[in-house]
Protein backbone atom coordinates (compact mmCIF):
# COMPACT_ATOMS: atom_id res chain seq x y z
CA UNK A 1 0.00 0.00 0.00
CA UNK A 2 1.41 3.24 -1.01
CA UNK A 3 -0.44 6.21 0.38
CA UNK A 4 -0.10 9.72 -0.95
CA UNK A 5 2.70 10.20 1.50
CA UNK A 6 4.59 7.29 0.06
CA UNK A 7 4.45 8.85 -3.35
CA UNK A 8 5.75 12.11 -1.98
CA UNK A 9 8.75 10.26 -0.64
CA UNK A 10 9.11 8.29 -3.87
CA UNK A 11 9.05 11.49 -5.85
CA UNK A 12 11.72 13.01 -3.67
CA UNK A 13 13.84 9.92 -3.95
CA UNK A 14 13.39 9.64 -7.70
CA UNK A 15 14.38 13.17 -8.58
CA UNK A 16 17.63 12.00 -10.13
CA UNK A 17 15.84 9.48 -12.32
CA UNK A 18 13.53 11.89 -14.10
CA UNK A 19 13.08 11.34 -17.80
CA UNK A 20 11.02 13.27 -20.26
CA UNK A 21 7.49 12.51 -21.37
CA UNK A 22 7.99 10.11 -24.27
CA UNK A 23 6.36 12.02 -27.09
CA UNK A 24 9.13 13.41 -29.23
CA UNK A 25 6.66 15.25 -31.44
CA UNK A 26 2.92 15.88 -31.16
CA UNK A 27 2.41 13.73 -34.28
CA UNK A 28 4.40 10.78 -33.02
CA UNK A 29 2.57 10.24 -29.76
CA UNK A 30 -0.88 9.01 -30.91
CA UNK A 31 0.65 6.33 -33.12
CA UNK A 32 3.05 5.18 -30.43
CA UNK A 33 0.28 5.12 -27.85
CA UNK A 34 -2.15 3.23 -30.09
CA UNK A 35 0.46 0.59 -30.79
CA UNK A 36 1.36 0.36 -27.14
CA UNK A 37 -2.30 -0.08 -26.18
CA UNK A 38 -2.82 -2.80 -28.77
CA UNK A 39 0.14 -4.71 -27.43
CA UNK A 40 -1.06 -4.23 -23.85
CA UNK A 41 -4.45 -5.71 -24.77
CA UNK A 42 -2.75 -8.74 -26.28
CA UNK A 43 -0.84 -9.32 -23.04
CA UNK A 44 -3.99 -8.78 -20.95
CA UNK A 45 -5.92 -11.32 -23.02
CA UNK A 46 -3.10 -13.81 -22.60
CA UNK A 47 -3.52 -13.34 -18.85
CA UNK A 48 -7.15 -14.35 -19.06
CA UNK A 49 -8.84 -10.95 -19.05
CA UNK A 50 -11.95 -11.11 -21.23
CA UNK A 51 -12.00 -8.94 -24.39
CA UNK A 52 -15.35 -7.45 -23.38
CA UNK A 53 -13.78 -6.16 -20.14
CA UNK A 54 -10.76 -4.76 -22.00
CA UNK A 55 -12.96 -3.04 -24.57
CA UNK A 56 -15.03 -1.35 -21.93
CA UNK A 57 -12.25 -0.53 -19.40
CA UNK A 58 -9.89 0.84 -22.06
CA UNK A 59 -12.47 2.54 -24.31
CA UNK A 60 -11.20 5.98 -25.30
CA UNK A 61 -8.40 5.89 -22.76
CA UNK A 62 -5.63 8.48 -23.22
CA UNK A 63 -2.60 9.46 -21.15
CA UNK A 64 -3.60 12.05 -18.55
CA UNK A 65 -1.32 15.09 -18.51
CA UNK A 66 -2.12 15.93 -14.89
CA UNK A 67 -0.93 12.49 -13.76
CA UNK A 68 2.46 13.11 -15.34
CA UNK A 69 2.62 16.55 -13.74
CA UNK A 70 1.92 15.05 -10.33
CA UNK A 71 4.46 12.31 -10.95
CA UNK A 72 7.14 14.86 -11.87
CA UNK A 73 6.49 17.31 -9.07
CA UNK A 74 9.46 18.26 -6.91
CA UNK A 75 8.80 19.71 -3.50
CA UNK A 76 10.65 22.97 -2.86
CA UNK A 77 11.23 22.19 0.79
CA UNK A 78 12.17 19.04 2.59
CA UNK A 79 9.53 17.49 4.80
CA UNK A 80 9.83 18.60 8.40
CA UNK A 81 8.93 15.95 10.94
CA UNK A 82 6.84 18.23 13.15
CA UNK A 83 4.82 19.62 10.24
CA UNK A 84 4.25 16.14 8.95
CA UNK A 85 3.12 14.90 12.33
CA UNK A 86 0.78 17.80 13.09
CA UNK A 87 -0.81 17.42 9.64
CA UNK A 88 -1.38 13.72 9.98
CA UNK A 89 -2.20 13.40 13.68
CA UNK A 90 -4.45 16.30 14.65
CA UNK A 91 -7.12 16.54 17.36
CA UNK A 92 -9.97 16.26 14.87
CA UNK A 93 -8.62 12.99 13.47
CA UNK A 94 -7.91 11.61 16.94
CA UNK A 95 -11.40 12.47 18.12
CA UNK A 96 -13.01 10.88 15.08
CA UNK A 97 -10.77 7.84 15.35
CA UNK A 98 -11.88 7.30 18.95
CA UNK A 99 -15.52 7.60 17.96
CA UNK A 100 -15.15 5.16 15.05
CA UNK A 101 -13.18 2.70 17.19
CA UNK A 102 -16.05 2.63 19.69
CA UNK A 103 -18.71 2.47 16.99
CA UNK A 104 -17.15 -0.46 15.10
CA UNK A 105 -15.62 -2.26 18.06
CA UNK A 106 -17.48 -5.59 17.63
CA UNK A 107 -16.45 -5.86 13.95
CA UNK A 108 -12.89 -4.70 14.66
CA UNK A 109 -12.59 -7.28 17.42
CA UNK A 110 -13.72 -10.07 15.10
CA UNK A 111 -11.14 -8.95 12.53
CA UNK A 112 -8.47 -8.64 15.24
CA UNK A 113 -9.17 -12.18 16.46
CA UNK A 114 -8.88 -13.64 12.99
CA UNK A 115 -5.85 -11.71 11.74
CA UNK A 116 -3.99 -10.65 14.87
CA UNK A 117 -3.89 -6.87 14.45
CA UNK A 118 -5.09 -4.60 17.27
CA UNK A 119 -8.19 -2.51 16.37
CA UNK A 120 -6.53 0.82 17.18
CA UNK A 121 -3.98 0.28 14.40
CA UNK A 122 -6.65 -0.64 11.85
CA UNK A 123 -8.43 2.63 12.62
CA UNK A 124 -5.16 4.60 12.52
CA UNK A 125 -4.23 3.32 9.04
CA UNK A 126 -7.78 4.10 7.92
CA UNK A 127 -7.43 7.67 9.22
CA UNK A 128 -4.10 8.32 7.54
CA UNK A 129 -4.87 6.69 4.21
CA UNK A 130 -8.25 8.21 3.40
CA UNK A 131 -9.34 10.23 6.46
CA UNK A 132 -11.65 7.33 7.38
CA UNK A 133 -12.96 6.93 3.84
CA UNK A 134 -13.47 10.64 3.04
CA UNK A 135 -10.78 10.77 0.34
CA UNK A 136 -10.35 7.69 -1.80
CA UNK A 137 -9.24 9.54 -4.94
CA UNK A 138 -10.87 11.14 -7.97
CA UNK A 139 -8.72 9.91 -10.85
CA UNK A 140 -9.76 7.16 -13.20
CA UNK A 141 -7.57 4.32 -11.94
CA UNK A 142 -7.31 2.76 -15.39
CA UNK A 143 -6.54 6.15 -16.97
CA UNK A 144 -3.87 6.94 -14.37
CA UNK A 145 -2.25 3.53 -14.65
CA UNK A 146 -2.33 3.60 -18.46
CA UNK A 147 -0.57 6.97 -18.27
CA UNK A 148 2.16 5.76 -15.94
CA UNK A 149 2.57 2.39 -17.70
CA UNK A 150 2.99 4.14 -21.06
CA UNK A 151 5.43 6.66 -19.60
CA UNK A 152 8.91 5.07 -19.65
CA UNK A 153 10.02 6.24 -16.20
CA UNK A 154 8.54 3.38 -14.17
CA UNK A 155 6.73 1.58 -16.98
CA UNK A 156 7.36 -1.96 -15.77
CA UNK A 157 5.99 -1.36 -12.28
CA UNK A 158 2.87 0.43 -13.51
CA UNK A 159 2.21 -2.04 -16.32
CA UNK A 160 1.99 -4.74 -13.65
CA UNK A 161 -0.36 -2.51 -11.62
CA UNK A 162 -2.52 -1.87 -14.68
CA UNK A 163 -2.80 -5.58 -15.50
CA UNK A 164 -3.67 -6.32 -11.86
CA UNK A 165 -6.39 -3.63 -11.92
CA UNK A 166 -7.85 -5.02 -15.15
CA UNK A 167 -7.82 -8.47 -13.65
CA UNK A 168 -9.70 -7.25 -10.55
CA UNK A 169 -12.33 -5.68 -12.81
CA UNK A 170 -12.47 -8.91 -14.83
CA UNK A 171 -13.17 -10.88 -11.65
CA UNK A 172 -15.94 -8.53 -10.54
CA UNK A 173 -14.26 -7.02 -7.48
CA UNK A 174 -14.48 -3.50 -8.78
CA UNK A 175 -16.20 -1.44 -11.45
CA UNK A 176 -14.84 -0.46 -14.86
CA UNK A 177 -14.86 3.24 -13.96
CA UNK A 178 -13.10 2.74 -10.62
CA UNK A 179 -11.60 5.90 -9.08
CA UNK A 180 -8.45 6.27 -7.03
CA UNK A 181 -5.34 8.37 -6.51
CA UNK A 182 -3.31 9.74 -9.41
CA UNK A 183 -0.94 6.77 -8.91
CA UNK A 184 -3.74 4.20 -8.90
CA UNK A 185 -4.11 3.64 -5.13
CA UNK A 186 -7.63 2.58 -4.27
CA UNK A 187 -10.26 2.40 -1.59
CA UNK A 188 -10.31 3.20 2.10
CA UNK A 189 -6.76 2.00 2.63
CA UNK A 190 -5.41 3.16 -0.73
CA UNK A 191 -4.20 -0.25 -1.87
CA UNK A 192 -2.30 -0.35 -5.15
CA UNK A 193 -3.75 -3.00 -7.49
CA UNK A 194 -1.20 -5.74 -6.74
CA UNK A 195 -1.76 -5.26 -2.99
CA UNK A 196 -5.51 -5.37 -3.61
CA UNK A 197 -5.09 -8.55 -5.67
CA UNK A 198 -2.79 -10.29 -3.19
CA UNK A 199 -4.17 -9.19 0.19
CA UNK A 200 -7.74 -7.91 -0.02
CA UNK A 201 -10.30 -10.30 1.50
CA UNK A 202 -14.06 -10.76 1.31
CA UNK A 203 -14.93 -10.67 5.00
CA UNK A 204 -18.67 -10.08 4.64
CA UNK A 205 -19.00 -13.12 2.35
CA UNK A 206 -20.82 -11.50 -0.58
CA UNK A 207 -18.27 -12.84 -3.07
CA UNK A 208 -16.63 -9.44 -3.77
CA UNK A 209 -13.62 -7.82 -2.18
CA UNK A 210 -14.98 -4.31 -1.84
CA UNK A 211 -12.58 -1.76 -0.33
CA UNK A 212 -14.95 1.19 -0.84
CA UNK A 213 -18.26 0.23 0.70
CA UNK A 214 -17.80 -2.80 2.93
CA UNK A 215 -16.24 -2.06 6.32
CA UNK A 216 -15.79 -5.78 7.03
CA UNK A 217 -13.81 -6.13 3.78
CA UNK A 218 -11.93 -2.87 4.44
CA UNK A 219 -10.77 -3.72 7.97
CA UNK A 220 -10.06 -7.38 7.23
CA UNK A 221 -8.05 -6.55 4.10
CA UNK A 222 -5.82 -4.11 6.00
CA UNK A 223 -5.41 -6.63 8.82
CA UNK A 224 -4.61 -9.45 6.40
CA UNK A 225 -1.99 -7.33 4.64
CA UNK A 226 -0.36 -6.34 7.94
CA UNK A 227 -0.51 -9.85 9.33
CA UNK A 228 1.10 -11.32 6.23
CA UNK A 229 3.76 -8.60 6.35
CA UNK A 230 4.83 -9.71 9.82
CA UNK A 231 2.57 -7.90 12.30
CA UNK A 232 2.68 -9.32 15.84
CA UNK A 233 -0.21 -8.28 18.07
CA UNK A 234 1.58 -9.26 21.26
CA UNK A 235 3.45 -5.97 20.92
CA UNK A 236 2.86 -2.36 20.05
CA UNK A 237 4.77 -0.35 17.40
CA UNK A 238 7.29 1.40 19.62
CA UNK A 239 7.26 4.36 22.00
CA UNK A 240 8.61 7.81 22.65
CA UNK A 241 11.68 7.61 24.87
CA UNK A 242 14.11 9.76 26.81
CA UNK A 243 17.81 9.39 26.05
CA UNK A 244 20.39 9.62 28.81
CA UNK A 245 22.89 12.50 28.86
CA UNK A 246 25.87 11.65 26.70
CA UNK A 247 23.92 9.16 24.60
CA UNK A 248 25.83 8.46 21.41
CA UNK A 249 23.42 9.21 18.54
CA UNK A 250 25.54 7.07 16.25
CA UNK A 251 23.66 4.02 17.56
CA UNK A 252 20.37 5.59 16.48
CA UNK A 253 19.63 3.79 13.23
CA UNK A 254 17.01 1.36 12.01
CA UNK A 255 19.68 -1.20 11.19
CA UNK A 256 21.01 -1.22 14.76
CA UNK A 257 18.80 -3.55 16.83
CA UNK A 258 19.32 -4.38 20.46
CA UNK A 259 17.20 -6.17 23.06
CA UNK A 260 15.17 -3.80 25.24
CA UNK A 261 17.24 -4.96 28.23
CA UNK A 262 20.36 -3.65 26.51
CA UNK A 263 18.78 -0.28 25.75
CA UNK A 264 17.73 -0.17 29.40
CA UNK A 265 21.38 -0.72 30.41
CA UNK A 266 22.44 2.08 28.06
CA UNK A 267 20.18 4.42 30.03
CA UNK A 268 17.24 4.62 27.62
CA UNK A 269 13.94 5.12 29.47
CA UNK A 270 10.29 5.76 28.71
CA UNK A 271 9.73 9.48 28.30
CA UNK A 272 8.32 9.78 31.83
CA UNK A 273 11.50 8.23 33.24
CA UNK A 274 10.10 4.77 33.96
CA UNK A 275 12.00 1.61 32.99
CA UNK A 276 11.50 0.10 29.55
CA UNK A 277 9.10 -2.89 29.48
CA UNK A 278 10.79 -6.09 30.67
CA UNK A 279 9.98 -8.10 27.54
CA UNK A 280 12.17 -10.15 25.25
CA UNK A 281 12.03 -7.88 22.22
CA UNK A 282 14.48 -6.07 19.94
CA UNK A 283 14.22 -2.39 19.19
CA UNK A 284 16.01 0.42 17.37
CA UNK A 285 16.40 4.00 18.52
CA UNK A 286 15.42 6.50 15.83
CA UNK A 287 15.68 10.29 15.79
CA UNK A 288 13.43 11.46 12.93
CA UNK A 289 14.10 15.16 13.63
CA UNK A 290 17.73 14.78 14.66
CA UNK A 291 19.43 14.77 18.03
CA UNK A 292 17.42 17.73 19.33
CA UNK A 293 14.07 16.27 18.33
CA UNK A 294 11.91 13.48 19.76
CA UNK A 295 13.46 10.04 20.22
CA UNK A 296 11.66 6.75 19.65
CA UNK A 297 12.39 3.13 20.39
CA UNK A 298 10.72 1.17 17.59
CA UNK A 299 9.84 -2.52 17.53
CA UNK A 300 9.24 -5.04 14.79
CA UNK A 301 5.70 -3.83 14.05
CA UNK A 302 7.24 -0.49 13.08
CA UNK A 303 9.18 -2.36 10.39
CA UNK A 304 5.94 -3.93 9.21
CA UNK A 305 4.46 -0.44 8.80
CA UNK A 306 7.45 0.34 6.58
CA UNK A 307 6.38 -2.54 4.31
CA UNK A 308 3.03 -0.77 3.96
CA UNK A 309 4.62 2.63 3.42
CA UNK A 310 8.36 3.11 3.45
CA UNK A 311 8.31 6.62 4.92
CA UNK A 312 9.75 6.67 8.45
CA UNK A 313 7.54 9.69 9.25
CA UNK A 314 4.44 7.82 8.14
CA UNK A 315 5.34 4.85 10.30
CA UNK A 316 5.71 7.05 13.38
CA UNK A 317 2.50 8.91 12.55
CA UNK A 318 0.45 5.71 12.27
CA UNK A 319 1.82 4.38 15.57
CA UNK A 320 1.31 7.67 17.34
CA UNK A 321 -2.21 8.05 15.95
CA UNK A 322 -3.04 4.53 17.18
CA UNK A 323 -1.76 5.49 20.66
CA UNK A 324 -3.83 8.67 20.65
CA UNK A 325 -6.95 6.85 19.46
CA UNK A 326 -6.35 4.48 22.35
CA UNK A 327 -6.53 7.40 24.79
CA UNK A 328 -2.89 8.47 24.79
CA UNK A 329 -1.70 12.08 24.71
CA UNK A 330 0.45 14.07 22.29
CA UNK A 331 4.20 13.56 22.02
CA UNK A 332 6.00 14.86 25.07
CA UNK A 333 9.10 16.22 23.34
CA UNK A 334 8.84 19.95 22.70
CA UNK A 335 9.00 21.29 19.19
CA UNK A 336 11.85 23.81 18.90
CA UNK A 337 10.54 27.30 18.06
CA UNK A 338 13.56 28.24 15.96
CA UNK A 339 13.40 25.32 13.57
CA UNK A 340 14.44 26.31 10.05
CA UNK A 341 13.12 24.45 7.05
CA UNK A 342 15.76 23.58 4.49
CA UNK A 343 15.02 24.05 0.82
CA UNK A 344 16.12 21.68 -1.91
CA UNK A 345 18.76 24.23 -2.84
CA UNK A 346 20.08 24.14 0.76
CA UNK A 347 20.33 20.35 0.66
CA UNK A 348 22.15 20.49 -2.67
CA UNK A 349 24.56 23.04 -1.16
CA UNK A 350 25.05 20.74 1.83
CA UNK A 351 25.74 17.75 -0.43
CA UNK A 352 28.29 19.69 -2.51
CA UNK A 353 30.08 20.90 0.61
CA UNK A 354 30.20 17.34 1.98
CA UNK A 355 31.70 16.15 -1.33
CA UNK A 356 34.33 18.88 -1.27
CA UNK A 357 35.35 17.69 2.17
CA UNK A 358 35.74 14.12 0.93
CA UNK A 359 32.44 12.64 2.16
CA UNK A 360 30.17 10.80 -0.27
CA UNK A 361 26.52 11.89 -0.06
CA UNK A 362 25.62 10.26 -3.40
CA UNK A 363 24.30 12.60 -6.10
CA UNK A 364 23.81 16.28 -5.18
CA UNK A 365 20.10 15.95 -5.85
CA UNK A 366 18.50 17.91 -3.03
CA UNK A 367 17.28 14.73 -1.35
CA UNK A 368 18.64 13.80 2.06
CA UNK A 369 18.46 10.05 1.54
CA UNK A 370 20.41 7.30 3.34
CA UNK A 371 23.72 8.10 1.55
CA UNK A 372 23.54 11.76 2.47
CA UNK A 373 22.67 10.94 6.07
CA UNK A 374 25.61 8.57 6.27
CA UNK A 375 27.92 11.26 4.87
CA UNK A 376 26.56 13.75 7.42
CA UNK A 377 27.23 11.26 10.22
CA UNK A 378 30.81 10.84 9.05
CA UNK A 379 31.30 14.61 8.84
CA UNK A 380 29.78 15.11 12.30
CA UNK A 381 32.13 12.50 13.75
CA UNK A 382 35.12 14.17 12.12
CA UNK A 383 34.32 17.48 13.82
CA UNK A 384 33.13 15.93 17.12
CA UNK A 385 29.46 16.84 16.73
CA UNK A 386 26.69 14.47 17.91
CA UNK A 387 26.56 12.12 14.91
CA UNK A 388 22.81 11.90 14.27
CA UNK A 389 23.12 12.19 10.46
CA UNK A 390 20.37 14.81 10.41
CA UNK A 391 20.43 17.58 7.76
CA UNK A 392 19.70 20.56 10.04
CA UNK A 393 20.20 24.25 9.36
CA UNK A 394 22.87 24.24 12.08
CA UNK A 395 24.77 21.56 10.22
CA UNK A 396 24.60 23.55 6.98
CA UNK A 397 25.93 26.62 8.80
CA UNK A 398 28.75 24.56 10.22
CA UNK A 399 29.65 23.24 6.75
CA UNK A 400 29.55 26.76 5.33
CA UNK A 401 31.74 28.10 8.17
CA UNK A 402 34.29 25.35 8.06
CA UNK A 403 34.22 25.33 4.27
CA UNK A 404 35.20 29.00 4.07
CA UNK A 405 38.52 28.42 5.83
CA UNK A 406 39.66 25.81 3.29
CA1 LIG B 1 -17.35 -8.53 0.38
Ligand 1 centroid to Cα of residue 3, in Å, is 22
Domain identity same for 266 and 304: yes
Per-residue pLDDT reduced to its tens digit, 108-138: 999 999 999 999 999 999 999 999 999 999 9
Tell me the CA–centroid distance for residue 156 and ligand 1, in Å: 30
Residues 355 and 287 both lie in one domain: no
pLDDT tens per residue across span 140-185: 999 999 999 999 999 999 999 999 999 999 999 999 999 999 999 9
Q: What distance in angstroms lies between residue 192's CA and the mean position of ligand 1's atoms?
A: 18
Tell me: do 246 and 368 sit in the same domain.
no
Instruction: Determine the average pLDDT of the residues in 225-244.
Output: 97
Residue of 382, 378, 380, 374 lying closest to 396 (CA atoms): 380
Residue 231 pLDDT greater than 50, yes or no: yes
Given a cut of 50, whether residue 17 has pLDDT beyond it is no
Ligand 1 centroid – CA 147 distance (Å):
29
Taking the centre of ligand 1 as the mean of its atom positions, its distance from the CA of residue 171, in whole angstroms, is 13
**Domain ends where: 148, 177, 206?**
177
> How many angstroms is it from 218 CA to the middle of ligand 1?
9
In a domain, 100, yes or no: no
Starting at the earlier edge strand, list the strands of the sheet with 238-242.
Answer: 258-259, 282-286, 295-298, 238-242, 269-270
CA of 315 to the centre of ligand 1 (A): 28
Domain region containing 147: 2-75+139-177
Same domain membership, residue 349 and residue 277: no
309, 3 in Cβ contact below 8 A?
Answer: yes
Q: How do residues 314-365 score in pLDDT, each as one tens digit?
A: 999 999 999 999 999 999 998 877 777 889 999 999 999 999 999 999 999 9
Sort 86 into a burial class: Cβ within 10 Å, 0-12 / 13-18 / 19+: middle
**Category of 278 on φ-ψ map: left (φ > 0), alpha (ψ -120 to 50) or beta:** beta
Task: Look up the CATH number of the domain holding residue 366.
Answer: 1.10.101
Ligand 1 mean position to 261 CA, how many Å? Answer: 45
Q: Which of 292, 325, 358 is the last residue of a domain?
A: 325
The CA 87 to ligand 1 mean position distance, Å, reads 32
Q: 77 C-alpha vs ligand 1 centroid, how far in Å? A: 42
| pLDDT average, residue stretch 283-312 | 95
Task: Give the pLDDT band of residue 20 (cuts 50, 70, 90).
Answer: very low
DSSP readout, 355-373?
HHTT---SS-SS---HHHH
Distance between Cα 183 and ligand 1 center (Å): 24
Q: Over range 68-83, report the average pLDDT.
A: 84
Instruction: Compute, in angstroms, the gap from residue 204 CA to the centroid of ligand 1.
Output: 5
Q: Give a yes or no: residue 8 inside a domain.
A: yes
> Does some domain include residue 184?
no
Of 293, 325, 357, the residue that ends a domain is: 325
Contact (CB, 8 A) for 41 and 34: no
By the CB criterion, residues less than 5 angstroms from ion ligand 1 are 202, 204, 206, 208, 210, 214, 217
Residues 33, 155 within the same domain = yes
CA of 207 from ligand 1 middle (Å) equals: 6
Q: Is residue 339 part of a domain?
A: no
Distance 323 CA to ligand 1 centre (A): 29
Q: Residue 201: its pLDDT value, please? A: 98
For residue 162, how far is its CA from the centre of ligand 1 (angstroms)?
A: 22
Residue 29 binned pLDDT confidence (cut-offs 50, 70, 90): low
Query: How many Å lie between the centroid of ligand 1 and the Cα of residue 228?
Result: 20
Specify the pLDDT at position 74: 74
Give bridge partners of residue 140 from the DSSP assignment.
179
- Asked if residue 16 has pLDDT above 90, the reply is no
Same domain assignment for residues 247 and 352: no
Residue 26 forms part of a structural domain: yes
Q: How far is the CA of 216 from the centre of ligand 1 (A)?
A: 7
Same domain, 317 and 365: no
Residues 366 and 298 in one domain: no
Counted domains in the chain = 3
Is residue 105 a part of any domain in this protein? no
**142 alpha carbon to ligand 1 midpoint, in Å?**
22
Asked whether residue 8 carries a pLDDT value surpassing 50, the answer given is no
What mean pLDDT do residues 205-212 have?
A: 96
Higher pLDDT, 194 or 24: 194
pLDDT of residue 403: 59
Instruction: Tell me how far the alpha carbon of residue 127 lies from the centroid of ligand 1, in angstroms.
Output: 21
For residue 214, report the distance from its CA to the centre of ligand 1, in Å: 6
Question: Are both 251 and 311 inside the same structural domain?
Answer: yes
How far is residue 129's CA from residue 4's CA, in Å, rounded to a whole number?
Answer: 8
DSSP 17: G
What pLDDT was estimated at residue 336?
79
Q: What pLDDT was estimated at residue 30?
A: 60
* Centre of ligand 1 from the C-alpha of residue 332, in Å: 41
Q: Within this chain, do residues 275 and 169 fall inside the same structural domain, yes or no?
A: no
Same domain, 68 and 149: yes
Same domain, 244 and 310: yes
Residue 54 DSSP SS3:
helix
Output the CA torsion sign for 81, 305, 153, 65: negative
Cα(44) to ligand 1 centroid in Å equals 25
Task: Kindly state whether residue 206 falls inside one of the protein's structural domains.
Answer: no
Asked whether residue 314 is assigned to any structural domain, the reply reads yes
Amino acid sequence: MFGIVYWKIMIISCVAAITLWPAATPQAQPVAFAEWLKELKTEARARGIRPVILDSALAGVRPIKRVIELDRRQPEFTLVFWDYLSNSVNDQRVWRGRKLLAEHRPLLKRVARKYGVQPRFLVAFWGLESNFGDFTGKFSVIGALVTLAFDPRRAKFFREQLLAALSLINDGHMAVGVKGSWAGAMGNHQFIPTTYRDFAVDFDGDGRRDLWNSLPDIFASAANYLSRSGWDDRYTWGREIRLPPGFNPEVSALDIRKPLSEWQQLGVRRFDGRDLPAVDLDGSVILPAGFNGPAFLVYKNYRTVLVWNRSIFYAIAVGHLADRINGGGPLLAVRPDNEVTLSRADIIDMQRRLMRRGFDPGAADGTAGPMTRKAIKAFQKSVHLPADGFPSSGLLERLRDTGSSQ
